[in-house]
């Protein structure tokens, strides 16, 4: 694929031509990585996209999370725990309001 040349700005930035962005399915905010080959050619590749699910387990929970056999059980437990926590927070707010 032949494309038009692009100019390096004073800050060392370049614009990726629209044909290449479309081909790589790049959108605003996406990250790319530059790979230099042994022949000193540069390849531009989309950086690995991560979802919020990749972060699961990276923070230590405030409470002990039981082990589940099925993902649906974990999702159900988290939903119920959230509802219990929200109800407790509502009770705390009402207690603080009643003190005033």
Domain boundaries, the chain: 1-49, 56-99
Mean pLDDT in consecutive groups of 10 residues from the start of the chain, 100 residues: 84 92 89 93 85 75 80 88 88 86
C-alpha Rg value of the chain to the nearest Å: 25
- The domain 1-49 is placed in CATH, from the list 2.60.40.1220, 2.10.260.10, 2.60.40.10, 1.20.1250.20, at 2.10.260.10
Residues 6+ apart with CB under 8 A from 43: 34, 35, 36, 37
46: β partners: 32
């Amino acid at each position: 694929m032949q494309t038009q040349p692009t100019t390096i700005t004073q800050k060392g930035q370049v614009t990726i031509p629209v044909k290449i962005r479309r081909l790589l399915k790049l959108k605003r905010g996406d990250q790319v990585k530059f790979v230099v080959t042994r022949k000193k050619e540069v390849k531009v590749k989309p950086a690995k996209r991560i979802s919020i699910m990749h972060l699961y387990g990276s923070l230590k929970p405030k409470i002990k999370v039981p082990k589940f056999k099925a993902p649906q059980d974990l999702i159900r437990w988290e939903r119920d725990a959230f509802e219990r926590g929200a109800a407790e927070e509502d009770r705390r707010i009402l207690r603080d309001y009643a003190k005033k």
